[in-house]
Amino acid sequence: MKILVDANVPAADACFGALGEVVRRPGREIAPGDLRDADALVVRSITRVDAALLAEARCLRFVGTCTIGTDHVDTRLLAERGIAFASAPGCNAEAVVDHVLVSLATLAERQGWRLAERRVGVVGAGNVGGRLLHRLSAMGIDCLACDPPRVEAEDLVAPGSGAPADFVDLDTLIDECDVLCLHTPLVREGPHATHHLLDAERIAALAPGTLLLNAGRGDCLDGQALRARLAGQGDISAVLDVWEGEPGIDAALRDLVELATPHIAGYSLDGKLRGTHQVTRALCRAFGLPCRVSLDELLPAPPLARLELGPGLSTEEALRLAMRAVYDPRRDHDALQRESRRQGMAAGFDACRAAYPLRREFATLEVALLEAEGQMAGWLTGAGFRVTTA
């Protein structure tokens, strides 16, 4: 069996090597000819799997994407051709939530406000948004959510629904929240289309002081309208990890947002390895093979396993210290600025992703509080850390 794999998929040899010949290609360079004799294709989000890519595929029986999102894959075409398909739902959701929380903490410090005093609106309450709502709620932060498809499917507004936040329509969310976090899939048609969900009209309706964060899909937000609001009134802030036109993103918009990162919110080693392992299991099922590698075998020990915090810290100071001990998004902001200027926007964007440094998740760190005060332990636990107290 020949398995063609995006070169940025980690542990590919450990996971797929026992199943057949593993051939690696950079995700944006995978071409129809590469699939001429491939039995399986394993990609990430930057490879568009459509009729053009599959034009010369004669033996292909399986396509897997090591990502939550699937809008880069023509799943209808695969079904028509009898090609098995698998994604990795939830694989990097925890990493994206880590990114969101530390970005919010960074902006709070930079702009002089307290996260505890803000109401956060989450648009899209699926794998990522749902986890974000649970963590924010566990920290005691006021939340609202907007997810019409989920409300319809689960009747979440009903008493006793178990939802971590009140569900409202999008315009109510915009009116009532200080922070908006977008975590929707890209849906171009239908009653719940999300393409330019935040269009020029809704961006204009954002109250002064609003922080807008998008770690979902770039096309769910009108980038030109956001650039105009930031450059004109300059009275709102933005954190963007996803962009229209990736990798050749809008340089002017990049320079206007507070944190600009190259679609790496979910790029923890833990999340990547979960994705590889989930797709490996799906491939084995598709070909009737045993899966002999476990996720625990793939995950190394974290470089920082324990952090001790002594007295004298406020809760938010302790939170920032613990978060940044694991991951600081300012590193990724600086890398995008540097590499996009050095190599050009598209090449620099992709270079940041291809050479992404080691990053673990909050859950890999034990935070030892030598003298916990007030709500500190609850906040740290709610944020996702393993907390011990003296």
Q: CATH number of the domain at 236, please.
A: 3.40.50.720
Residue 208 shares a structural domain with residue 320: no
114 phi-psi bin (left φ>0, alpha ψ -120 to 50, beta other): beta
112 phi-psi bin (left φ>0, alpha ψ -120 to 50, beta other): left
Distance separating alpha carbons of residues 152 and 169, to the nearest angstrom: 12
- Closest of 302, 290, 291, 296 to residue 274, by C-alpha: 296
Residue 137 shares a structural domain with residue 82: no
State the pairing for strand pair 259-260/237-240: parallel
- Closest of 281, 280, 282 to residue 83, by C-alpha: 282
Residue 102 shares a structural domain with residue 47: no
Residue 253 shares a structural domain with residue 341: no
Residue 123 shares a structural domain with residue 248: yes
Residue 59 shares a structural domain with residue 130: no
Based on the structure, what is the number of domains in the chain? 3
Cis before 247? omega within 30: yes
Residue 241 shares a structural domain with residue 141: yes
CA distances in angstroms from 234 to 208, 230, 251, listed in the order given: 9, 4, 17
Rg value, the chain, Cα = 21
- The answer to the question of residue 290 being in a domain is no
Residue 368 shares a structural domain with residue 325: yes
- The answer to the question of residue 11 being in a domain is yes
Q: Which residues are annotated as a binding site for substrate?
A: 45, 67, 267
Residues with catalytic function: 217, 246, 263
**Domain at 341, CATH number:** 3.30.1370.170
Q: What is the pLDDT along the chain (390 residues), one digit of tens a residue?
A: 999 999 999 999 999 999 999 999 999 999 999 999 999 999 998 999 999 999 999 999 999 999 988 989 999 999 999 999 999 999 999 999 999 999 999 999 999 999 999 999 999 999 999 999 999 999 999 999 999 998 888 765 554 455 667 899 999 999 999 999 999 999 999 999 999 999 999 999 999 999 999 999 999 999 999 999 999 999 999 999 999 999 999 999 999 999 999 999 999 999 999 999 999 999 999 999 999 999 999 999 999 999 999 988 999 999 999 999 999 999 999 999 999 999 999 999 999 998 999 999 999 999 999 886 678 999 999 999 999 987
Where among 260, 278, 297 does a domain terminate? 260
- The answer to the question of residue 23 being in a domain is yes
Residue 33 shares a structural domain with residue 177: no
Where among 61, 87, 113 does a domain terminate? 87
Distance separating alpha carbons of residues 223 and 254, to the nearest angstrom: 10
Residue 216 shares a structural domain with residue 316: no
Cβ contact 114:90 at 8 Å: no
- The answer to the question of residue 253 being in a domain is yes
- In this prediction the pTM is 0.90
What burial letters (b/e) apply to 107-122, b meaning 16+ CB within 10 Å?
bbeeeeeebeebebbb
- The answer to the question of residue 63 being in a domain is yes
- The answer to the question of residue 100 being in a domain is yes
Tell me if residue 113 falls in helix, strand or coil. Answer: coil
Distance separating alpha carbons of residues 202 and 121, to the nearest angstrom: 14
- The answer to the question of residue 256 being in a domain is yes
Q: What are phi and psi of 213, to 5 degrees?
A: -125, 125
239 phi-psi bin (left φ>0, alpha ψ -120 to 50, beta other): beta
Q: Which residues are annotated as a binding site for NAD(+)?
A: 147, 184, 241, 266
Tally of CA atoms within 13 A in the half-sphere of 380 that contains its CB: 32
Residue 143 shares a structural domain with residue 48: no
Structural domain harbouring 150: 93-260
Residue 39 shares a structural domain with residue 100: no
Largest CA distance in the chain: 65
Residues 6+ positions from 49 with CB-CB distance below 8 Å: 41, 43, 63, 65, 72, 73, 74, 78
Where among 87, 121, 141 does a domain terminate? 87
